[in-house]
A and B are shown apart, each in its own frame.
Chain A
Amino acid sequence: MRDAYVVGAGQSDFGSFPEESYRSLFATAYEEAVESVDGEFHPDAVDEAVLGTLGVGGRQIGLSGPAVTEHVGLHGVPTTRVENACAASGYAVRQAVQAVKSGMADLVLAGGYEVMTDASGDATRYWLGVSGETEWERLSGTTFAGVYAQMASAHVAEYGTDPDALSEVAVKNHSHGAMNPHAHLGFECTLEDARDAPVVADPLTLYHCCPTTDGAAAVLVASEDVASELSTDPVRVAGVGAASDAVGLFQRDTYAGVPASAMAAERAYDRAGIDADEAGAVTDALDFAEVHDCFAIAELMAYADLGFCAPEDAGAFVADGRSDHGGDVVVNSSGGLKSKGHPIGATGAGQVVEAYKQLRGEAGDRQVADAERGVTHNVGGSGGAAVVHVLERASEVSAR
């Protein structure tokens, strides 16, 4: 099977833009992606488009994919909407990679969009809730914050995790997001800010929860031939892995981790030829990771599910700076969902946008030193779906 490359990637600002529409936000992301292409990009060259959105608020749910591709002038391009809740556009990128690797397409637009902040808090909670298990879990009275808080309780009970580690995640990701001009909540916070914030669902405080965000992201995935024409510094998709699991937490093998994430990572690492070291960690092979930190506990669980450390060491992993610049692997250099924001359908593609910038040395103040290889990790719901991409600098890799 042939390789797939990312030859362009861009995003809108993530934030609260109630006067924007899903179309206008996507147009901004598409334009930034097109501008990031080194060579001359022709829209006619796009063979296919795969776009992710949940449709929060009940706006254009049917045919929202064609609605945005036609809007940006990609007339006639076959477009499919992908829905896997918060993992929608991570899966859209994966579909694009599949299309290219299979030989069916040479250039595919992948991305996502979501408008969330123009609805009332109650309406938003309804729409977030419909991606949880609705018949049993939701009707026990939980929101997503509640389900992730339950996972936190299980993590504390099983591994003795210090709840302060949740606040450490918030502090780190806000410090990263403060350096990201696209971030929704681009400000720093202290450990006390995070710890003492109002409790949303014990032990999660407001600072342990990502915001609801408007935004869009777009990624251009190309075959090797097209990549060599369009890009002087392409990013190779070294591995993709994805997995599903029970949508309800109560039907999973563990509550203190996300089994779908671990399965997806194992598959992606296998494709990318990444082996764990003697200690079982893959951090030697990675420089950075964009992980799905919708709630702070999700990042702690991702450390173990993605092979950065043992689950019982997750709290120390962040507290000791091992997931920060200068540590084992820089986690969420973009600010993550916590600080950059979480426009549901755009999040997974947005992670690839960050990886693209990091690997091309275009991440500005938040640039990860000598970034050669990174991973993106996108989760749907509380773990019903997960997708992991391993991305690397094509020139560095071929020189190895």
Chain B
Amino acid sequence: MSDDAAPETVEASVGSNGIRAVGAYAPRNRLPASEVEAAWGSVQASGVGEKAVPGADEDALTMAHEAATNALHADGTDASSIGLLAFASTTPPVEEEDVAVRLGSTLGVPETARHESFGGSTRAGTRALATGLDADLGDGELALVVASDCPKGEPAGERDQAAGAGAVAFLVVDDGPASALARGTFVRPSPGTRFRERGSERVDGLGVTSYDRATFTETLAGAVDDLDSGTGDEGAGDGGLDVDAAAVQAPDGAMPYRATGALGVDAEAIQRVATVHDLGDTGAASALLGLARALDDPDVGPVLVAGYGSGAGADAFVVDTTDAVPAALVLERDDERTLSYAEYLRLRDEIVPEPPEGGGAYVSVPSWRRTLPQRHRLVAGRCSECGSLAFPPEGACGDCGSLTAYEDVQLPGTGRIEAATTISQGGAPPEFAQQQQRDGDFDVVVVAFDAPTGDATVSAPAQVTDVDGGSVDVGDDVVATVRRIYTQEGVTRYGFKVRPAGRR
């Protein structure tokens, strides 16, 4: 390394790719600050009026699935052309194991695609976006960049009171309409501002206020100053950046505004696209959710994206659009469920007992894996003899009885309820008892799933998610999604559930 290379800057190049579509997702559960205040007597976290809380069957992987599905839906495409899946989270459901691979499976990303996982700090989101923008994409090939996070902290402290949940996904192509005009990056070794010890679920920090603030603002400032390293003249000059909005990392609702001077933007530019006030700290998704809001707003032109992660490092992008970017953002929801603090503690698994003795219905992981196309993507089969649909596609055809081969048919995931009930307290099978204790009664149904074409349906049992128990009836329309089914032997099984159509 030559002496004249500044150790605190990393050379960044502006990728030629651009964003073609965007999706976002936040869980329906919301904890208002008033509940935090009622429980603790005061609120430590600044500027978080309400925060999103994952359901008992949600985690960073399922939220990423939701956001990615929304992006694909906005784009009107499927996952078959994806050549790169970049997944960012500081809260993957397992500490070791490549979660991106299972996320890709739930979406139908080809197994030959690059699957890249980013973590370690909240900057993972902007690092994933940079990877997508830099990717060498072939003709018609897509990169899918997903950031999803649901941090936790010590309940009494500001970090947990700010800790929210959300996910965002971008579809990137080589000629996408939203591209980075400039990029910058910067690191500065600064331990202790925000960290999570090995084996802990709770984000911690030393709480040295001036040190924390200086690290945050100066690292971001370094990335913005580095912006001109890309195209030459986009850096924050004396007059500030010429942007309409600034999507800034928000560990709470006050911190980003402390960086206005360092970033060269005003508070209004930050507030315009901020999600922290309604969703809380969304970690690796924080700055990118702001970018999603900006792309969804036709009145917003150039936007500064400023991602930050403790350690510390920051990325800055100036993104502008040449054309509208289709967006499907499920952030403010008309089906929001306001939690009491007690319900929050239940959902967070703070006061729920260990799973009951007695074991579960044992389905080994290898035999579960055999059914992943069905669990993750509703792959049914068409009987080669009579043409009727079978689910799961194995064994003799239920219609003609022939023991024959099936042609894969991926179901679109829409259907109608044929039979329904609500599993009440104490009535859940042991492997679902904890979910019920956390999230309450749930509905289980038999669904007649639609075929891709024609009037034929094929039935499968499914649990209903995203609604309270007792919300559905025979005849109701539903749509499939992917959620946590249950955890056994330490391995969480993901599979399809359904929710009422039009609820998202």
Contact = CB atoms under 8 A, between A and B. Distances in A.
On whether the two chains bind one another, the answer is yes
Interface of A: 119-126, 129-130, 132-143, 145-146, 149-154, 156-157, 198-204, 246, 248-251, 255
23 contacts: A120-B356, A122-B358, A123-B359, A125-B429, A126-B360, A126-B430, A132-B361, A135-B371, A136-B392, A138-B361, A142-B421, A142-B444, A143-B423, A145-B427, A146-B427, A149-B421, A198-B424, A201-B422, A201-B427, A202-B421, A202-B422, A203-B421, A250-B446
Q: Which of B361, B459, B486 has the most CB of A within 10 A?
A: B361
Interface string B182-202: 000000000000000000000
B341 interface: no
B125 interface: no
B474 interface: yes
A366 B357 CA distance: 41
A154 to B, nearest CB: 4
B301 interface: no
B419 A150 contact: yes
Q: Which of A121, A126, A129, A198 has the most CB of B within 10 A?
A: A126
B339 interface: no
Contacts of A141: 423, 428-429, 432, 435, 442, 444, 463
A120 B357 contact: yes
Contacts of A122: 356-358, 430, 433
B422 A199 contact: yes
A143 B424 contact: no
Contact of B423 (A129, A152, A201): A201
Interface in B367-397: 367, 371, 391-392
Nearest to B355: A122
Contacts of B362: 134
Nearest to A139: B485
B420 A140 contact: no
A203 B422 CA distance: 8
B474 A126 contact: no
A246 B462 CA distance: 17
Given A120-B356, A255-B419, 16 more contacts: A123-B358, A126-B361, A134-B362, A135-B367, A137-B461, A138-B429, A139-B485, A141-B428, A142-B423, A142-B461, A143-B427, A143-B429, A151-B419, A153-B473, A201-B423, A250-B460
B134 interface: no
A269 to B, nearest CB: 25
A159 B327 CA distance: 45
Contacts of B230: none
A251 B358 contact: no
B357 A150 contact: no
A291 to B, nearest CB: 21
Given A154-B419, A201-B421, A125 B430 contact: yes
Question: Closest 3 A-B residue pairs measured CB to CB?
Answer: A149-B421, A150-B419, A122-B356
Nearest to A249: B446
Interface string B311-330: 00000000000000000000
